[in-house]
């Protein structure tokens, strides 16, 4: 039975960040993920690195301060996966918050960043209409312009894991399910099952860390020794992708719906991302999809701000949804629930982390990693994880290209995909055939992958039916 000093269960961004921090401090660590790394909530965000300007309204100043400083650090460390852009917040005559109030909020946002943000500004109505063609003119007073980051969320998670694996005595396992956890003396005994071979094996660890995101309650409630009480208020957020030709934008827009929700409309090259919704959810977390009502909600919101666009469902390239693991604070208000993370210890050698924001992943788990380092006689340095990541993805979002045969081989060998979906969605950043057709106009999806089938089958779980049936 293989023994590790620490086992991290959950291969999303929070688990990846803790795994890397442990690895950088010389802790013998194992990361376990039931599906592919970053295949759940951590690939289903609004693709933002941000402080959360709307959280100022909830007086979450400490969270915003922390997130803004992390955002600016990550922008400097990951220029190929994230970059800063101006966000336009149009203000109309019937707005709840007039321009002067928006300006105060943006100044506070820049202040909390220690003025690391590019400075905000107010744009006049005439200038806004030049900068954002097609925006609704009636009642427009101007816009606040502030700066945040856009990113590729799945790839950041993957590169954090790749970097951890540069260290000795660490291992990451995907498509491996944790079947049971028991205690023997002072050790955690973790039973795991390979999702492909169905082989069951066991590992042990001194400490176990659960970074399960929305799966926290459902998993831990199955382990009797934890006597777990539910802590989450699950919230589903849905997004849609549309062609940039159907809504040509140069800059992201922040729009406010009639019910007070904030929706981001963000150009990503040849596509535009619109989201997100926020609704309670109690379904299958492994098969979360945007509902028709949510899709119509997003389309109506965009059409209200861009009346000439007339976007309909046929303009949608794809949609996706994820579950935010909000920590319940004794109320059922999703919008008012804090995005702060919380740490629990159901047993002395067990840590559970829940909640938080993607942007603050690097520091969310530092309290846990500090304790584990000290338990193993190692000094802890909170700045180790500020080092640049050492392995870059071959296909990156802001310089996307169709890979060559050699690049496909290298991705399969070095970037750890195990299935066709892993390869296409998270390593090649292709959500479905419509996205492929938009980016690779000169070659059909089927033709490309059938041509490389013999190469791919040497490295990943793949059948020709997988290619033919891909969305």
- Residue-wise pLDDT for 198-233, tens only, equals 999 999 999 999 999 999 999 999 999 999 999 999
Which band of pLDDT confidence, cut at 50, 70 and 90, is reported for residue 238? very high
CA distance 21 to 23: 5
Do 216 and 352 form a contact (C-beta atoms < 8 A)? yes
Q: How many CA atoms lie within 13 A of 174 on its CB side?
A: 20
Task: Examine the pLDDT at 255 and tell me if it is beyond 80.
Answer: yes
| Residue 232: strand, helix, or coil | strand
Strand pairing category for 2-9 and 200-210? parallel
Segment among 118-122, 275-279, 362-366 with least mean pLDDT: 275-279
Question: Quick check: bond before 276 cis, omega within 30?
Answer: yes
Mean pLDDT, rounded, for 18-26:
98
Q: How many CA atoms lie within 13 A of 325 on its CB side?
A: 26
| Residue 325: strand, helix, or coil | strand
| CA distances, 294 to each of 252, 323, 332, 335 (Å) | 20, 14, 19, 16
Per cent of the chain over pLDDT 70 is 98
Task: Examine the pLDDT at 358 and tell me if it is beyond 70.
Answer: yes
Task: Examine the pLDDT at 261 and tell me if it is beyond 60.
Answer: yes
- In terms of Cβ atoms closer than 10 Å to its own Cβ (0-12, 13-18, 19+), residue 45 is buried
Task: Examine the pLDDT at 465 and tell me if it is beyond 90.
Answer: yes
For 312, other C-beta atoms within 10 Å of its C-beta total 11
> Domain 2-42+154-231+336-386: which topology?
FAD/NAD(P)-binding domain (3.50.50)
Which band of pLDDT confidence, cut at 50, 70 and 90, is reported for residue 331? low
- Residue-wise pLDDT for 415-455, tens only, equals 999 999 999 999 999 999 999 999 998 899 999 999 999 99
Task: Examine the pLDDT at 334 and tell me if it is beyond 70.
Answer: no
Q: Which residue has the tokens 């301060």?
A: 65
Mean pLDDT, rounded, for 400-422:
96
DSSP bridge partners of 92: 140
CA distance 20 to 158: 11
Q: What DSSP string describes 363-381?
A: HHTHHHHHHHHHHTT----
Which band of pLDDT confidence, cut at 50, 70 and 90, is reported for residue 333? low
Which band of pLDDT confidence, cut at 50, 70 and 90, is reported for residue 5? very high
- Residue-wise pLDDT for 57-105, tens only, equals 888 899 999 999 999 999 999 999 999 999 999 999 988 889 999 999 9
Q: Where are the domains of the chain?
A: 2-42+154-231+336-386, 85-149+236-327, 397-469
- Residue-wise pLDDT for 187-204, tens only, equals 999 999 999 999 999 999
Segment among 183-197, 236-250, 282-296, 423-437 with least mean pLDDT: 282-296
Q: Which residue has the tokens 């659960």?
A: 210
Task: Examine the pLDDT at 471 and tell me if it is beyond 90.
Answer: no
Query: Largest Cα–Cα distance of the chain, in whole Å?
Result: 71
For 320, other C-beta atoms within 10 Å of its C-beta total 21
Mean pLDDT, rounded, for 32-41:
96
pLDDT at 58: 81
pLDDT at 336: 54
pLDDT at 182: 96
Task: Examine the pLDDT at 46 and tell me if it is beyond 60.
Answer: yes
pLDDT at 201: 97
pLDDT at 164: 98
pLDDT at 283: 83
pLDDT at 337: 59
Considering the domain 85-149+236-327 in this protein, what is its CATH number? 3.30.9.10
pLDDT at 444: 94
Which band of pLDDT confidence, cut at 50, 70 and 90, is reported for residue 332? low
| Closest to 130 (Cα-Cα) out of 250, 255, 296 | 250
CA distance 88 to 265: 10
Mean pLDDT, rounded, for 347-357:
94
């Amino acid at each position: 039975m293989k023994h590790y000093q620490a086992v991290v269960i959950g291969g999303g961004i929070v688990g990846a960040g803790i795994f890397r921090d442990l690895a950088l401090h010389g802790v013998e660590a194992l990361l376990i993920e039931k599906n592919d790394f970053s295949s759940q909530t951590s690939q289903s965000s609004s693709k933002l690195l941000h402080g959360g300007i709307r959280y100022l309204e909830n007086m979450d100043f400490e969270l915003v301060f922390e997130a803004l400083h992390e955002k600016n650090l990550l922008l400097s460390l990951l220029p190929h996966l994230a970059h800063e852009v101006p966000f336009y917040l149009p203000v109309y005559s019937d707005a709840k918050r007039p321009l002067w109030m928006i300006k105060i909020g943006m100044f506070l946002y820049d202040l909390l960043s220690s003025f690391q943000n590019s400075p905000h500004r107010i744009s006049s109505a005439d200038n806004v209409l030049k900068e954002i063609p097609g925006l609704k003119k009636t009642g427009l007073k101007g816009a606040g312009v502030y700066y945040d980051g856009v990113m590729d969320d799945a790839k950041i998670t993957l590169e954090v894991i790749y970097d951890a694996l540069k260290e000795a005595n660490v291992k990451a396992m995907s498509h491996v399910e944790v079947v049971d956890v028991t205690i023997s003396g002072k050790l955690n005994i973790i039973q795991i099952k390979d999702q492909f071979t169905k082989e069951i094996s066991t590992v042990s660890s001194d400490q176990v860390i659960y970074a399960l995101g929305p799966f926290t309650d459902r998993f831990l409630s199955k382990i009797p020794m934890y006597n777990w009480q539910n802590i989450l208020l699950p919230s589903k957020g849905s997004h849609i992708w549309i062609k940039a030709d159907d809504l040509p934008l140069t800059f992201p827009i922040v729009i406010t719906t009639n019910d007070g929700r904030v929706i981001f409309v963000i150009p990503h090259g040849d596509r535009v991302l619109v989201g997100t919704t926020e609704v309670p959810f109690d379904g299958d977390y492994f098969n979360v999809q945007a509902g028709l009502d949510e899709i119509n909600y997003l389309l109506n919101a965009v059409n209200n701000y861009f009346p000439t666009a007339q976007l309909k469902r046929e303009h949608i390239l794809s949609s996706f949804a994820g579950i935010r693991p909000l920590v319940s604070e004794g109320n059922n208000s999703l919008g008012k629930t804090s995005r702060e993370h919380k740490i629990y210890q159901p047993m002395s050698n067990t840590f559970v982390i829940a909640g938080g924001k993607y942007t603050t992943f690097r520091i969310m788990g530092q309290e846990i990693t500090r304790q584990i380092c000290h338990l193993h006689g190692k000094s802890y340095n909170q700045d180790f994880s500020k080092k640049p990541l050492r392995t870059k993805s071959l296909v990156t979002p802001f310089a996307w290209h169709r890979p060559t045969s050699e690049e496909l081989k290298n991705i399969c060998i070095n970037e750890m995909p195990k299935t066709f979906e892993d390869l296409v969605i998270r390593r090649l950043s292709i959500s479905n055939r419509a996205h492929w057709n938009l980016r690779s106009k000169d070659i059909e999806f089927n033709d490309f992958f059938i041509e490389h089938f013999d190469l791919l089958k040497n490295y990943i779980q793949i059948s020709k039916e997988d290619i033919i049936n891909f969305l």
